[in-house]
Amino acid sequence: MSKDKLKRFAENLTFPNFFQPTIEEAMQGFHLKGKWNKDFFGNDNPIVLELGCGKGEYTVALAHKYPKKNYIGIDIKGARMWRGCKTAIEEKMTNVAFIRTRIDLILNFFDKSEIGEIWITFPDPQPRMKQVKKRLTSPRFIERYEQILIPKGIIHLKSDNTEIYNFTLSTIENDGHHLLFQTNDLYNSGFEGDAVEVQTFYENMFLKENEAIKYIQFRLG
Protein backbone atom coordinates (compact mmCIF):
# COMPACT_ATOMS: atom_id res chain seq x y z
CA MET A 1 0.00 0.00 0.00
CA SER A 2 1.35 3.45 -0.95
CA LYS A 3 2.37 6.05 1.60
CA ASP A 4 -0.29 8.41 0.21
CA LYS A 5 -3.03 5.87 0.86
CA LEU A 6 -1.80 5.20 4.37
CA LYS A 7 -1.68 8.93 5.03
CA ARG A 8 -5.23 9.38 3.79
CA PHE A 9 -6.54 6.46 5.84
CA ALA A 10 -4.98 8.00 8.93
CA GLU A 11 -6.29 11.49 8.17
CA ASN A 12 -9.80 10.15 7.56
CA LEU A 13 -9.94 9.07 11.18
CA THR A 14 -9.42 12.68 12.30
CA PHE A 15 -12.34 14.02 10.26
CA PRO A 16 -15.56 14.70 12.24
CA ASN A 17 -17.66 13.94 9.14
CA PHE A 18 -16.11 10.49 8.55
CA PHE A 19 -17.31 7.21 10.08
CA GLN A 20 -15.56 3.85 9.83
CA PRO A 21 -17.22 1.31 12.11
CA THR A 22 -15.99 -2.25 12.35
CA ILE A 23 -18.14 -5.00 10.88
CA GLU A 24 -19.08 -6.00 14.42
CA GLU A 25 -20.15 -2.43 15.27
CA ALA A 26 -22.19 -2.21 12.08
CA MET A 27 -23.89 -5.55 12.66
CA GLN A 28 -24.93 -4.46 16.15
CA GLY A 29 -26.61 -1.39 14.62
CA PHE A 30 -24.71 1.83 14.05
CA HIS A 31 -25.19 4.34 16.86
CA LEU A 32 -26.63 7.00 14.50
CA LYS A 33 -29.20 4.68 12.93
CA GLY A 34 -32.52 6.53 13.09
CA LYS A 35 -30.77 9.53 14.66
CA TRP A 36 -28.78 11.11 11.83
CA ASN A 37 -30.83 14.30 11.74
CA LYS A 38 -31.12 14.70 15.49
CA ASP A 39 -27.63 13.69 16.63
CA PHE A 40 -25.35 14.51 13.69
CA PHE A 41 -26.87 17.09 11.32
CA GLY A 42 -28.92 18.87 13.97
CA ASN A 43 -31.89 19.53 11.69
CA ASP A 44 -34.91 17.85 10.12
CA ASN A 45 -33.79 18.20 6.51
CA PRO A 46 -34.10 15.29 4.04
CA ILE A 47 -31.16 12.90 3.83
CA VAL A 48 -29.74 11.88 0.45
CA LEU A 49 -27.32 8.98 -0.03
CA GLU A 50 -24.63 8.55 -2.66
CA LEU A 51 -23.81 4.84 -2.89
CA GLY A 52 -20.41 3.84 -4.22
CA CYS A 53 -19.52 7.51 -3.81
CA GLY A 54 -15.81 7.26 -4.68
CA LYS A 55 -14.36 10.74 -4.21
CA GLY A 56 -17.80 12.00 -3.16
CA GLU A 57 -18.32 14.34 -6.11
CA TYR A 58 -22.11 14.13 -5.98
CA THR A 59 -22.22 14.22 -2.21
CA VAL A 60 -20.24 17.46 -2.05
CA ALA A 61 -21.60 19.18 -5.16
CA LEU A 62 -25.24 18.55 -4.32
CA ALA A 63 -24.68 19.53 -0.70
CA HIS A 64 -23.40 22.87 -2.00
CA LYS A 65 -26.38 23.30 -4.28
CA TYR A 66 -28.99 22.20 -1.73
CA PRO A 67 -27.97 23.43 1.74
CA LYS A 68 -31.41 22.46 3.06
CA LYS A 69 -30.66 18.78 2.43
CA ASN A 70 -28.19 16.48 4.17
CA TYR A 71 -25.86 14.23 2.16
CA ILE A 72 -24.09 11.01 3.09
CA GLY A 73 -21.60 9.27 0.81
CA ILE A 74 -20.98 5.55 1.29
CA ASP A 75 -18.11 3.49 -0.12
CA ILE A 76 -15.58 0.89 0.94
CA LYS A 77 -12.68 2.78 -0.67
CA GLY A 78 -11.42 4.99 2.13
CA ALA A 79 -8.53 6.57 0.21
CA ARG A 80 -10.93 7.88 -2.45
CA MET A 81 -13.46 9.13 0.08
CA TRP A 82 -10.72 11.22 1.73
CA ARG A 83 -11.11 13.87 -0.98
CA GLY A 84 -14.80 14.45 -0.32
CA CYS A 85 -14.32 14.50 3.46
CA LYS A 86 -11.48 16.98 3.25
CA THR A 87 -13.26 19.28 0.80
CA ALA A 88 -16.39 19.38 2.98
CA ILE A 89 -14.30 20.30 6.03
CA GLU A 90 -12.23 22.91 4.22
CA GLU A 91 -15.41 24.54 2.94
CA LYS A 92 -17.10 24.32 6.37
CA MET A 93 -20.01 22.25 5.08
CA THR A 94 -22.24 20.98 7.87
CA ASN A 95 -24.63 18.96 5.71
CA VAL A 96 -22.11 16.30 4.59
CA ALA A 97 -20.98 12.97 6.05
CA PHE A 98 -19.20 9.88 4.77
CA ILE A 99 -19.33 6.25 5.87
CA ARG A 100 -16.72 3.69 4.95
CA THR A 101 -18.57 0.39 4.90
CA ARG A 102 -20.03 -2.28 2.66
CA ILE A 103 -23.26 -1.19 1.00
CA ASP A 104 -24.92 -4.53 1.71
CA LEU A 105 -24.87 -3.49 5.39
CA ILE A 106 -26.94 -0.38 4.74
CA LEU A 107 -29.86 -1.51 6.90
CA ASN A 108 -27.58 -1.38 9.91
CA PHE A 109 -26.99 2.35 9.38
CA PHE A 110 -30.43 3.75 8.56
CA ASP A 111 -33.93 3.30 9.93
CA LYS A 112 -37.25 2.94 8.16
CA SER A 113 -38.07 5.97 5.97
CA GLU A 114 -34.95 7.81 7.14
CA ILE A 115 -33.68 8.45 3.59
CA GLY A 116 -35.29 10.75 1.05
CA GLU A 117 -33.32 9.95 -2.11
CA ILE A 118 -30.51 7.72 -3.41
CA TRP A 119 -27.83 8.32 -6.05
CA ILE A 120 -25.90 5.35 -7.48
CA THR A 121 -23.02 6.81 -9.46
CA PHE A 122 -20.93 4.61 -11.76
CA PRO A 123 -21.17 1.40 -9.73
CA ASP A 124 -19.10 -1.68 -10.40
CA PRO A 125 -21.13 -3.44 -13.16
CA GLN A 126 -20.30 -6.89 -11.73
CA PRO A 127 -20.25 -8.38 -15.24
CA ARG A 128 -20.08 -12.12 -14.48
CA MET A 129 -23.36 -13.99 -14.07
CA LYS A 130 -22.47 -15.18 -10.59
CA GLN A 131 -22.01 -11.52 -9.58
CA VAL A 132 -25.47 -10.32 -10.65
CA LYS A 133 -26.77 -10.27 -7.07
CA LYS A 134 -23.95 -7.87 -6.17
CA ARG A 135 -25.16 -5.20 -8.60
CA LEU A 136 -26.42 -2.18 -6.68
CA THR A 137 -29.68 -2.17 -8.65
CA SER A 138 -30.38 -5.88 -8.18
CA PRO A 139 -33.62 -6.87 -6.39
CA ARG A 140 -31.46 -7.89 -3.41
CA PHE A 141 -30.27 -4.32 -2.94
CA ILE A 142 -33.50 -2.62 -3.98
CA GLU A 143 -35.31 -4.50 -1.21
CA ARG A 144 -32.91 -2.85 1.24
CA TYR A 145 -33.45 0.61 -0.24
CA GLU A 146 -37.20 0.15 0.02
CA GLN A 147 -36.86 -0.28 3.78
CA ILE A 148 -34.97 2.96 4.36
CA LEU A 149 -36.48 5.25 1.69
CA ILE A 150 -39.47 7.47 2.34
CA PRO A 151 -42.60 6.63 0.32
CA LYS A 152 -42.08 7.81 -3.28
CA GLY A 153 -38.36 8.32 -2.62
CA ILE A 154 -36.38 8.53 -5.87
CA ILE A 155 -33.38 6.47 -6.98
CA HIS A 156 -30.93 7.72 -9.62
CA LEU A 157 -28.48 5.58 -11.59
CA LYS A 158 -25.66 6.98 -13.71
CA SER A 159 -23.37 4.61 -15.57
CA ASP A 160 -21.31 4.18 -18.70
CA ASN A 161 -22.15 0.47 -18.72
CA THR A 162 -24.87 -0.74 -21.10
CA GLU A 163 -25.33 -4.06 -19.31
CA ILE A 164 -26.16 -2.54 -15.92
CA TYR A 165 -28.36 0.06 -17.63
CA ASN A 166 -30.44 -2.65 -19.35
CA PHE A 167 -30.38 -4.83 -16.24
CA THR A 168 -31.77 -1.97 -14.14
CA LEU A 169 -34.53 -1.23 -16.65
CA SER A 170 -35.54 -4.91 -16.59
CA THR A 171 -35.54 -4.96 -12.79
CA ILE A 172 -37.75 -1.86 -12.68
CA GLU A 173 -40.23 -3.41 -15.11
CA ASN A 174 -40.22 -6.92 -13.66
CA ASP A 175 -40.64 -5.77 -10.05
CA GLY A 176 -43.31 -3.15 -10.75
CA HIS A 177 -41.34 -0.02 -9.93
CA HIS A 178 -42.08 3.34 -11.54
CA LEU A 179 -39.71 4.52 -14.27
CA LEU A 180 -39.55 8.32 -14.28
CA PHE A 181 -36.83 8.92 -16.86
CA GLN A 182 -34.33 6.95 -18.91
CA THR A 183 -31.72 7.70 -21.54
CA ASN A 184 -28.77 5.80 -22.95
CA ASP A 185 -27.07 9.05 -23.96
CA LEU A 186 -27.56 11.62 -21.21
CA TYR A 187 -25.66 14.53 -22.74
CA ASN A 188 -27.56 14.29 -26.02
CA SER A 189 -30.96 13.73 -24.40
CA GLY A 190 -31.93 17.32 -23.62
CA PHE A 191 -32.28 16.42 -19.95
CA GLU A 192 -31.71 19.28 -17.53
CA GLY A 193 -30.95 18.77 -13.87
CA ASP A 194 -28.48 17.42 -11.35
CA ALA A 195 -27.56 14.41 -13.46
CA VAL A 196 -25.89 16.64 -16.05
CA GLU A 197 -24.64 19.37 -13.73
CA VAL A 198 -22.25 17.13 -11.77
CA GLN A 199 -19.61 14.91 -13.35
CA THR A 200 -17.55 12.39 -11.42
CA PHE A 201 -13.87 11.60 -11.87
CA TYR A 202 -14.68 8.37 -13.70
CA GLU A 203 -17.40 10.00 -15.76
CA ASN A 204 -14.90 12.50 -17.14
CA MET A 205 -12.64 9.62 -18.11
CA PHE A 206 -15.48 7.88 -19.95
CA LEU A 207 -16.52 11.08 -21.72
CA LYS A 208 -12.96 11.63 -22.97
CA GLU A 209 -13.20 8.15 -24.49
CA ASN A 210 -16.51 9.13 -26.16
CA GLU A 211 -18.52 6.73 -24.01
CA ALA A 212 -22.23 7.58 -23.81
CA ILE A 213 -23.46 8.09 -20.26
CA LYS A 214 -26.64 6.29 -19.24
CA TYR A 215 -29.08 7.67 -16.70
CA ILE A 216 -32.18 6.24 -15.05
CA GLN A 217 -34.49 7.86 -12.53
CA PHE A 218 -37.12 5.69 -10.85
CA ARG A 219 -39.36 5.36 -7.82
CA LEU A 220 -40.00 2.13 -5.97
CA GLY A 221 -43.43 0.54 -6.40
What's the CA angle centered on 152, arms 148 and 154, to 5 degrees? 75
Mean pLDDT of the 172-189 span = 97
With H, G, I as helix, E, B as strand and everything else as coil, classify residue 165: helix
Q: What is the pLDDT of residues 68-79, one digit of tens each?
A: 999 999 999 888
79 secondary structure, DSSP code: H
Q: What pLDDT does 171 receive?
A: 97
* pLDDT band at residue 13 using 50, 70 and 90 as cut-offs: confident
Q: What pLDDT does 159 receive?
A: 96
Determine the Cα–Cα distance for residues 171 and 45; give it in Å rounded to an integer. 30
Q: What is the pLDDT of residues 121-154, one digit of tens each?
A: 999 988 887 889 999 999 999 999 999 999 999 9
- In this structure, whether the domain defined by 3-219 belongs to CATH 3.40.50.150 is answered with yes
Q: Which residues are catalytic?
A: 124
> Does the pLDDT at position 3 exceed 80?
no
> Does the pLDDT at position 2 exceed 80?
no
Say how many C-beta atoms besides its own lie within 10 A of residue 74's C-beta.
25
Expressed in percent and rounded to 5, the helix, strand and coil fractions of the chain are: 40, 20, 35
Give the DSSP H or E segment for 193: none
Average pLDDT value over all residues in the chain = 94
Q: What pLDDT does 80 receive?
A: 87
Q: Residue 44: which residues within 8 A CB-CB, separation 6 or more?
A: 37
> Does the pLDDT at position 206 exceed 80?
yes
Q: What pLDDT does 1 receive?
A: 63
